[in-house]
Chain A
């Protein structure tokens, strides 16, 4: 148990200060394909596939044996004539979605994908609302006016531009 704890501690420590773990020498020269176009595709694919035993590293960056196996596997599939999508499907069928560094757009990842744009849209909507409220409301401090004063002020301001600051 102590050892387990120490191990976890070490992992946490590594995670804390190291960001990604040590990738000493990822892609080895003997893995590189002769065909530069295929190799280019292999590199692009590799950077989107996760080395599943590493912490947030693509198989392109990692020196773990598993990453090497996957790099070789990706190249084998490409040489066999698979399209990029076929290679990805094949890997997902074997290793699950965890292997994808860019998750597929699906129901269970929908919130993930739309969070940023949604925040932006919500922000814009909020701003427009605030602007409209601001146009309607008085430029002076809020909360100090009764309904009658409000009406009187509206009367005065009628036809004004709204910018009274």
Chain B
């Protein structure tokens, strides 16, 4: 009965989504206030219904109700509690339900926090959200019903794919979906602006917090997925340019461009039409990502053709939304008032440059991801497009952008002074040069590109700090007054600083871990000792161990430095009997920002075992950098100017504290 309640709630939600799709938009077009007013309560009711449905599915997992096909296929009574919960979205049906849950959550949040948005815009935005909700609810009900029953309930379930039984995978999809789906709001705002034919700086101010929020989640989601792959897959890679990764990376690139172009629109009323296009483009890429991941088209074009039901359904959704919104754009965008003039050398100019390179990079990743599919579908020729291709095409597009980062925030609006900006970056440049020289001095010609990469990373970090300091004018007015100016700076200034600083941190991690990694592949016997970047590792043996729903072979290594024992490492190989599937659990030791990484390979009959060991200098900076970026994003959201529903500047500011805009 409970399970049927969840199913019923989902059907009811679909009906409500249809109402939300039509009534408020009709109200907005005909200026009928009563019809418009229906949007918010319906959005909230939708959230309650889908949440109920999701809770029911979670309950079925917790109770191990194997009469539900989805639970039977993906759960096991002996599975630890946390993975019973995360198992809800560790499969196709459940993850689509999570997708829709997050969609209606955002709809409800818009309803709650958009009191200051004009009624027609608000109603239309929620209406557009309703279209997306209705489409995906129909998709779930028609092709991916998680509440389907088995007439004769089996005694035990098939268990969740062991690779998914990991805390990282419990968090990764929700974060990623919060990001993907978050961009549906900017999309809805863009489409609403096109329908209503009105757009202004206030629009950008309402949109930016949502874009920032989605961007923060997407950043964290991608980073989480990358770290999970790093520690779980057992050979220490952290980014593979896999189509699935690209599927989340493309909305991130476009979303990053959107954040920046929305600033121009808010401050200078310029780039309106472009910002609208970018908002549509970003969410289209999110939808494309959902299609790529959910349709099975990536496995091969043939797999898609064998089981086309779901894939075709999402493809149709994709075509309707992307095609529809671009048609609407072509039709209505010319009506939007263009505005804002600026010189090429200005803050706006720098932000346009940012958009130019980010968009070109997105296009190159997009084409690289889809080209093999398209070529195979058209000519039947099979080619591969992998990491070497993307490194070669994506990298060069990023370098000019990274070089330019420190200049952007230092240029004034309307007409900037490149020379003055450069002068304020002398110190940052000096620091970067020193860092590059130090790397060159330490490692010499062995790694030619490393000093340049490190120099670039330090340049971005130092540039971000220099920009913040120059806003305090600390060198001119002295330390104490400078500090008080620092405290008075708007939060978005700190957000910008941290966002850019984080890019430098991530880049530093990438360069160091790639250029200076030490790797060792060898067969060891109990008692063998080998040296790894100044640490001595002694292998003492391997022993079986029983886990809750798996058995494992655990290797034991003692780590010494200068003779003293400092740590132990226990890499293992697991077998999950329910699916008979093996996994490797690498053992990772962190020293400062660097990591020692050991994973087990084949075991030999005589007690010897193959191991792979790595020392990865500063690798954690890759993820710490994304964390810094996200914190920057969060601080920006809390900026008074952007705070949703905040009144216009009310606080009387003392002259010394006024932000230098």
Q: A12-B299, A163-B414 are in contact. Are A4 and B306 (CB under 8 A)?
A: yes
CA of A4 to CA of B392 in the docked complex: distance in angstroms?
Answer: 38
Residues of A within 8 A of B612 (CB): 25-27
Q: Is the CB of A25 within 8 A of B610?
A: yes
Q: Which of A15-23, A73-81, A147-155 is the interface stretch?
A: A15-23
Residues of B within 8 A of A90 (CB): none
Q: A19-B245, A119-B364 are in contact. Are A28 and B161 (CB under 8 A)?
A: no
Residues of A within 8 A of B356 (CB): 120, 123-124, 127
CA of A113 to CA of B383 in the docked complex: distance in angstroms?
Answer: 13
Partner of A17, one of B90, B243, B339: B90
CB-CB nearest in chain A for B164: A17
Residues of A within 8 A of B352 (CB): 127
Q: A99-B384, A112-B367, A116-B360 are in contact. Are A11 and B244 (CB under 8 A)?
A: no
Decide yes or no whether A32 CB sits under 8 A from chain B.
yes
CA of A8 to CA of B311 in the docked complex: distance in angstroms?
Answer: 12
Decide yes or no whether A101 CB sits under 8 A from chain B.
yes
Q: Is the CB of A24 within 8 A of B245?
A: no
Residues of B within 8 A of A127 (CB): 352, 356
Decide yes or no whether A13 CB sits under 8 A from chain B.
yes
Q: Per-residue CB proximity of A27-40 to B under 8 Å, as 1/0?
A: 11110100000000
Which residues, 64 to 79 on A, are CB-close (under 8 Å) to B? Answer: none
Q: Is the CB of A142 within 8 A of B337?
A: yes
Which residues, 375 to 399 on B, are CB-close (under 8 Å) to A? Answer: 375, 379, 381-389, 392-394, 397
Residues of B within 8 A of A123 (CB): 356, 359-360
Q: A56-B386, A102-B386, A112-B371 are in contact. Are A17 and B582 (CB under 8 A)?
A: no
Q: Is the CB of A116 within 8 A of B602?
A: no
Q: Which of B116-124, B230-238, B459-467 is the interface stretch?
A: B230-238
Q: Is the CB of A15 within 8 A of B233?
A: no
Could you tell me the distance in whole angstroms from the C-beta of B346 to the nearest C-beta in chain A?
Answer: 10
Q: A28-B610, A165-B342 are in contact. Are A119 and B382 (CB under 8 A)?
A: no
Could you tell me the distance in whole angstroms from the C-beta of A91 to the nearest C-beta in chain B?
Answer: 12
Q: Is the CB of A115 within 8 A of B386?
A: no
Q: A14-B161, A116-B361 are in contact. Are A102 and B392 (CB under 8 A)?
A: yes
Residues of B within 8 A of A50 (CB): 384, 386
Q: Is the CB of B521 within 8 A of A32?
A: yes
Residues of A within 8 A of B229 (CB): 19-20
Q: Is the CB of B359 within 8 A of A119?
A: yes
CA of A109 to CA of B381 in the docked complex: distance in angstroms?
Answer: 11
CB-CB nearest in chain B for A14: B161
Q: Per-residue CB proximity of A84-106 to B under 8 Å, as 1/0?
A: 00000000000011111111000
Q: Is the CB of B169 within 8 A of A120?
A: no
Could you tell me the distance in whole angstroms from the C-beta of B45 to the nearest C-beta in chain A?
Answer: 30
Residues of B within 8 A of A101 (CB): 384-389
CA of A8 to CA of B356 in the docked complex: distance in angstroms?
Answer: 39
CA of A131 to CA of B343 in the docked complex: distance in angstroms?
Answer: 8
CA of A100 to CA of B237 in the docked complex: distance in angstroms?
Answer: 20
Decide yes or no whether B338 CB sits under 8 A from chain A.
yes
Q: Is the CB of B383 within 8 A of A20?
A: no
Partner of B582, one of A20, A24, A55, A119: A24
Q: A25-B599, A165-B341 are in contact. Are A96 and B382 (CB under 8 A)?
A: yes
Q: Is the CB of A163 within 8 A of B293?
A: no
CB-CB nearest in chain B for A98: B382
Could you tell me the distance in whole angstroms from the C-beta of A145 to the nearest C-beta in chain B?
Answer: 14
Could you tell me the distance in whole angstroms from the C-beta of A138 to the nearest C-beta in chain B?
Answer: 9
- Residues of A at under 8 Å CB distance from B? 4-5, 8-20, 22-30, 32, 47-48, 50, 55-58, 61, 96-103, 108-109, 111-113, 115-117, 119-120, 123-124, 127, 131, 134, 139, 141-143, 162-165
**Could you show 8 A-B contacts with beta carbons less than 8 Å apart?**
A5-B307, A24-B234, A25-B610, A111-B371, A124-B356, A142-B338, A165-B340, A165-B341
